[in-house]
Amino acid sequence: MAQIREIKQRMVAVGTIQRITKTMQMIATAKFTAAVQRTKATQPYTEKIRELVAAVCSNPADLDHPLVGADRKPAGRDLLLVIGSDRGFCGAFNANVLRNALKFHRSLVEQGREVVVETSGGKAEAFFKFAQIEIARVHNVGDKPEYDTVAAIADSYMDRFIAGEIDSVRVAYMRFESNARQIPEIEQLLPMQTPEGEGDGGGSDMYEFTPDEESLLNALLPQAVRTSLFQAFNDAVVSEQIMRMIAMKAATDNAADLGRSLKRDYNRARQARITTELTEIVSGAAALS
């Protein structure tokens, strides 16, 4: 009797878990649909900004800009922004991003560099605190990144880079390629890397710019940094939601399998109890006759 009661309690608990994970899967699916629409909407603009930067940089070879970082005195300090999630239950999303970020952080430290760590997302903050790595700043961007918020972060990085406080800015995040492929990546924001070889062989004669290249770069390069960082945040959100959706679907399927197994065990235990009771009744009747 006790075994049947225990199995019944486990069946109720598993059923509750299955309903919760199914609901979380549906919420993640809805958030993923909205996030992937935002990401796909920003991609053409980001790519076009990069194309314009490539076109301008491909004209004269001697263009110089503070964000490119040529002929600057090294500060010996790098900045690493790690984009994690605020919530868990998203599979290996945080583990992959944070492991990649920690590996890169250690490689810089081994080179004698000072690394300034900034985070976005509660999981990234908790991870670096547990690893006893100082966090300079925590950004609360949320799962619906606003362009103005991200642009303000990018502007602060550019100001610190131009002022010579840091030598580079890199972002550790999960890059979204497709529904089946998300890649943990370390992307360099600053100094900006100008395209190489795209202006060779006559490409520099294809365009005439008005105003001049320097004025265009003064507008395009900061915008390219802002849009690249905004795209990184959007990619991270999409990757988080799709990995949570997959994780919750797997949890729901596992709960369903466990529920069927418990149901089978419950029926067997119940049948065994009925058989035992019938045997006792028959044996008692035989003893009285």
Residue range 198-221, pLDDT digits in tens: 444 444 445 566 676 677 778 888
Asked if 268 contacts 20 with a C-beta cutoff of 8 angstroms, the reply is no
pLDDT band at 1 (very low <50, low <70, confident <90, very high): low
Residue 77's pLDDT is 93
How high is the pLDDT of residue 251?
A: 94
Distance between CA atoms of 125 and 137, rounded to whole angstroms?
9
pTM for this entry: 0.84
Which spans in the chain are helix H? 2-57, 93-110, 122-130, 147-162, 213-288
What pLDDT score was predicted for residue 143? 85
Give me the architecture of the 26-245 domain, per CATH: 3-Layer(aba) Sandwich (3.40)
Give tens-digit pLDDT for 146-181.
Answer: 999 999 999 999 999 999 999 999 999 999 988 889
